[in-house]
Structure 1
Amino acid sequence: MSRIIFRYIFKETAVPFFLGMAIFTFVLLMGRLLKLAELVFAKGVPILDVGKLIFFMLPSFLVITIPMAFLLAVLLAFGRLSADSEIIALKAGGVGTAAMMPPVLTFAALAYLATTFISVYALPWGNTSFKEFLYEVIETRAAMSINEKVFNDDFPGLVIYVDNYNQRTHEITGILIHDERNPEEPSTIFASSGKLITIPEERTVRLHLENGSIHRSQGGNIYRLIEFSSYDLLVTLQQQKKDYRNELDLTLSELLAHLHKPGEDPKFRRDVLIELNKRFALPFACFVFAVIGVPLGIQNQRSGKAGGFSAALLLLMLYYILMSAGRTIGEKGIVHPAVGAWLPNGLFIAFGLYLLHKAATEQPIPLVQTVSDLLHWAKTHLGRQRRDS
């Protein structure tokens, strides 16, 4: 293959790839926007901190969207080349289907390396950083935001009710606090006014209360009443932080260490083995989509971009259904975890080789031809209806 043809096919694939990656990443991000918006509007978290959270989430999105965008790019590129009869021209010039694969496989290798780097290094870093930032910074600041005239349970062991809360000065009035941090001596605090003071570096919040009383019961028959003009209630947020790391947050070395750790829980060991294989199986989907995308794009002569986009969505949905099924049967021990993780790639690569054989021997694929004809009919029918109206 000449360098001109190589660069031409490579460029045809690159443009829809970056566009598809941006669209798919944005679509996945939309599912998190409601919770992120709640942090901004309900909890008063600065937008810059929310931006950091989005940045930490990007690796978990990109490890999925890069293979998705690559499949879409291949289908759109070869669908366009096929629809404009450029595939016929290439074959007439002696460039067969197999000879068109090098630029696509080169692009697949670049996408694979990028996805593998993200999956092995950036993904655990992003997941861990996201959770640490959420616990150590966001929740500390979010605890400073109390909703008026509702019972707030953001503080560990406390339920707080206030009549009024000043978001700017953090001053509160009409205060009721029920303290159950010591279950043997629960107490209820009333105060006319007060102020919330946060100490982020110590992950503590001090509630400075004025003109109130503390009602405390000790045992079954002892009741104590303490009145105060000024009282400081110190709340430690550190107890909110739990052991939040799972196999998705572990680095490659940590995953391998858990596999060889004596006495490890068998279920967790299976989860770790599945995650370890998935770190490499998911990036390998770029090569799988290259093998399956080229013949499908060539077969798609009549439906154009609509057919390519529809085929991409259908294949992606089927791939991730198989991936979920493989993970489930691997977790339950029905098959070896490695088999479950690589199951979608194995089935799709076999289907892709079948499609390549059909495309190389100029044989139509019945299912693809039927879908293409239906899309072409729908496009023609809708166009005729618009002209008639």
Structure 2
Amino acid sequence: MPSTIDRYIFREITIPFLLGMTAFTGALLMGRFLKIAEMVVAKGVPLSKICLLIAYLLPSFALVTIPMAFLLAILLAFGRLSADSEIIAMKASGVGLSRLMAPVMAFAVITAISTLAIAVYAVPAGNTSFKELLTKAIEGNTDLDIRERVFVDTIPGLVIYVESYNSNSRTMKGVMIQDDRKPENPLTIFAGRGTVSIDTRSRRAHLLLEGGSIHNIHEDSYRLVNFREYELNLKLDQSIRAISRNELDMSLAELNAGINGSAKDPRLRKDMELEYHRRFATPFACFVFALAGVPLGIQNRRSGKGGGFAVSIGLLIVYYIVLSAAKTAGEKDLLNAALAMWLPNVIFLALGGWFFFRSAQEKSVLGPLAPAAIADFFVKIFSGAGKTR
């Protein structure tokens, strides 16, 4: 049966955890939402599909935000308990630091299991559904998405620029088209005006250009053709770029099969191996953050919530820098894939153990690296220099 202290600490962690999840998810969503708006909203996709696309992205966000929010919650909760001297009161009542870790570890188990389930099942399903819905949304578009004074490259190998465009009459003025669909024979087309007509059944667009010229530069030759009328036929299906599946969209069974030989490309096999181990290493980070977060939160007496947030962001930045460096080393075969993905956890687990040991002894968790110790070190150096003179 959980004691009153367990329930109290558990509740103290829960509220900042939910707030942290909301804040971190919103921050990650803003960056992706701009891309979704650029790719989808301009093509007239309904709001319901846009919301569904965002929902499919949430599992990949949660894989990162759950450990982040958990660390923030621990630092804020124990920072508040320490600032109000409640930690001192608990210790005076015979409640040691190891006993305070029990509810934190229980919360870590919940977050780790949730993150593991999301990594194994929700992320590949969400990524696959996102790409499928995005493809269907683009396929449903029956326009060239021509905009005034914007270089439109909806169709691969073709860039269209117009000075003015009337969407009602579908008339253009000041047209420039760069046609690189045949790389060996690139064309640059200029026209004073033009008209666009769309055949929705055949999904074809017809551009009737008037009063212009075609410029062709091939090797050492240059050719100029002036025209009164020039018709350009385009197939709208070409505007659908192939959205291929990668290791992030694969289930554990698919990753395992690719690692064991079905993936012919060595680089793809390495990426699949790294992704396989990442899906287990990321949930384990919850236990690492629990061990490191509690002593750091207790030490953070004076700076309050702002200090807790700053410490959490700093620790997360260092963690993900180490993770990124280890992953790069794994991609370049400098490290084994399993070691590359688990190395940050091993390093921070050892660091967290050191923090916990020093905190249990009522010492500064940073020891000789603490700001006060560093300041005292420099004071001694400069005072010694002054005496020498």
Partner of 2:277: 277
**CA spacing shift, 1:102–1:208, aligned 2, 3 Å:** same
1:307 CA drift (Å): 2.3
Show the counterpart of 1:3: 3
Gaps of 5+ in 1: 375-389
Matched residue, 2:147: 147
Instruction: Tell me by how many angstroms 1:180 deviates.
Output: 5.8
Structure 2: which amino acid aligns with 1:207?
A
1:165–1:172 Cα contact (<8 Å) kept: yes
Tell me, in whole angstroms, the C-alpha distance in 2 between the residues paired with 1:227 and 1:351: 75
Distance 1:131 1:99 in 2: 47
Distance 1:177 1:369, change over 3 A: closer
1:109 maps to which residue?
A: 109
1:354 to 1:142, Cα distance in 2 relative to 1, 3 A: farther
Shift, 1:267, TM fit: 2.5
**Structure 1 range deviating more: 353-362 or 133-142:** 133-142
Say if 1:329 and 1:9 are closer, same or farther in 2 by CA, change over 3 A: same
2:195 aligned partner: 193
Q: Who is 2:341 aligned against?
A: 341
CA contact (8 A) 2:131 2:243 kept: no
Shift of 1:34: 3.2
Q: Which residue matches 1:172? A: 171
- In structure 2, the CA distance between the partners of 1:94 and 1:34, relative to structure 1 (3 Å rule), is same
User: Is the contact made by 2:45 and 2:137 (CA closer than 8 Å) also made in structure 1?
Assistant: no
Q: Does the 8 Å contact 1:163/1:172 carry over to 2? A: no
Give matches, 1:66-215, under 5 Å: 66-138=66-138, 141=141, 143-148=143-148, 152-160=152-160, 164-167=164-167, 169=168, 171-174=170-173, 181=181, 192-198=194-200, 205-208=203-206
Alignment partners' CA distance in 2, 1:303 and 1:215 = 69
In 2, the alpha carbon distance for the partners of 1:322 and 1:57 equals 25
Q: Compare 272-281 and 241-250 and name the one that shifted more.
A: 241-250
- Residue 363 of structure 1: SS of its match in structure 2? coil
Shift of residue 57 of structure 1?
A: 1.8
When residues 344 and 143 of structure 1 are mapped into structure 2, their CA distance, relative to the original with a 3 A threshold, is farther
Taking structure 1 as the reference length, what is the TM-score of the superposition? 0.80
Amino acid at match of 2:203: V
**Is the partner of 1:196 in helix, strand or coil?**
strand
The answer (yes or no) to whether the contact 1:14–1:73 under 8 Å persists in 2 is yes
Tell me which residue corresponds to 2:54.
54
Residue number in structure 2 paired with 1:377 = none
In the alignment of these two chains, the number of paired residues is 368
* Paired residues for 1:198-347 under 5 Å: 198=200, 205-208=203-206, 233-238=233-238, 240-242=240-242, 244-261=244-261, 264-347=264-347
| Distance change in 2, residues 1:183/1:268 (3 Å) | closer
Q: Which amino acid aligns with 2:116?
A: T
Distance 1:368 1:23 in 2: 34
Q: Greater shift after overlay, 47-56 or 234-243?
A: 234-243
> Structure 1 residues 347, 98: closer, same or farther in 2, change over 3 A?
same
The CA deviation at 1:170 is 7.2
The alpha-carbon distance between structure 1 residues 368 and 147, as it changes in their structure 2 partners (threshold 3 A), is: farther
Q: Give a deviation string over 1:353-376, Cα, whole Å, max 9, x none.
A: 1222222232333459945999xx
- Tell me if structure 1 keeps the 8 A contact 2:156–2:241: no
Q: Is residue 2:355 matched to residue 1:363?
A: no
Alpha-carbon distance between aligned partners in 2 of 1:291 and 1:146, rounded to the nearest angstrom: 55
In 2, Cα distance between the equivalents of 1:29 and 1:197?
37
Instruction: State the secondary structure of the residue aligned to 2:141.
Output: helix
Find the residue that maps to 2:113 and give its secondary structure: helix
C-alpha separation in 2, matches of 1:70 and 1:208 = 56
8 Å CA contact 1:259–1:272 kept in 2: the answer is yes
Summarize deviations over 1:104-124 as a string: whole Å, max 9, x none.
Answer: 111111111111111111112
Which amino acid in the other structure matches residue 255 of structure 1?
A: L
Shift of 1:311: 1.3
Residues 81/115 of structure 1: CA separation in 2 closer, same or farther (3 Å cut): same
352-361 vs 6-15, which deviates more? 352-361
TM-score using structure 2 length = 0.80
Q: 1:120 to 1:152 in 2, by over 3 A?
A: same
Residues 79-88 or 350-359, more deviating: 350-359
Q: CA deviation at 1:300?
A: 2.0
Name the counterpart of 1:383.
Answer: none
SS at match of 1:141: coil
Equivalent pair of 1:63/1:119 in contact (CA under 8 Å): yes
* Cα separation, 2, equivalents of 1:369 and 1:161: 59
Tell me, in whole angstroms, the C-alpha distance in 1 between the residues paired with 2:178 and 2:22.
48
1:292 and 1:356 in contact (8 A); partners too: yes
How far apart, in 2, do the equivalents of 1:16 and 1:368 lie?
A: 31
- Alignment correspondent of 2:379: none
| Distance change (3 Å), C-alpha of 1:35 and 1:302 | same
